[in-house]
Amino acid sequence: MANDEKEGIPNAKPEGIHAAHLSIGKLPGTRGDDSDEVIYITCTEGVNVNDLFHKVMDYIGPMIPQKGSALLEEWFVTTPDGVTFFSICFFCGIEKEQDGWRQQITLGARGLGLPIATIVGETFVLDHGASYPLSDCLAEERT
């Protein structure tokens, strides 16, 4: 199926999270049964997100968390004003380590001057205070 064909409708473009989910799954941070947490970090078109992920993770050393892991997910959220964010999921099961991952990612992104966001309920919340209903954002999985 072509990228612009969703659910058998030629040239249909996903409009917001709900339409995107019809054919490609669930956005990290909205899964009710997840035991992991998600932080979104801004990225510009054309940037190598894998390299950016490693720059964020390596910015603070030594690593704050000692257990668990952080994963780059291929999910992106674009706000109505055109700013795109990629998702990093992290998990451990031990609250102290969850805090360590949250700090590692947040301090790395801020050190690199990259705004971050989280999903609270059905709202995409940026660290500088702006927020958008998820239904107004474009959510897409890029593989």
Phi/psi region, residue 42 (left: phi>0; alpha: psi -120 to 50; beta: rest), is beta
The structural domains of the chain, with segments of one domain joined by +, span: 16-141
Q: Tell me the percentage of the chain whose pLDDT exceeds 70.
A: 76
- pLDDT tens digits, 94-121: 776 678 899 999 999 999 999 999 998 8
- Rounded to whole angstroms, how far apart are CA atoms 94 and 111? 26
Q: What is the pLDDT of residue 98?
A: 75
* Sheet architecture: strand order including 37-43: 131-133, 123-126, 116-120, 37-43, 84-91, 69-78, 138-141
- Rounded to whole angstroms, how far apart are CA atoms 69 and 92? 7
Going by pLDDT thresholds of 50, 70 and 90, the confidence category of residue 85 is very high
- pLDDT tens digits, 12-22: 334 444 444 43
Is residue 66 predicted with pLDDT exceeding 60? yes
Going by pLDDT thresholds of 50, 70 and 90, the confidence category of residue 31 is low
Average pLDDT of the chain, as a whole number: 79
| Nearest-10 Cα torsion for 140, 125, 53, 84 | 50
Q: What is the pLDDT of residue 12?
A: 37
Q: What is the pLDDT of residue 32?
A: 62
Q: Tell me the percentage of the chain whose pLDDT exceeds 90.
A: 44
What is the DSSP secondary-structure string of 1-67?
A: --TT-BTTBTTPPP-HHHHHHHHH---TT--TT--SEEEEEEE-TT--HHHHHHHHHHSSSS-S--S
Q: Give pTM, 2 decimals.
A: 0.78
Is residue 127 predicted with pLDDT exceeding 80? yes
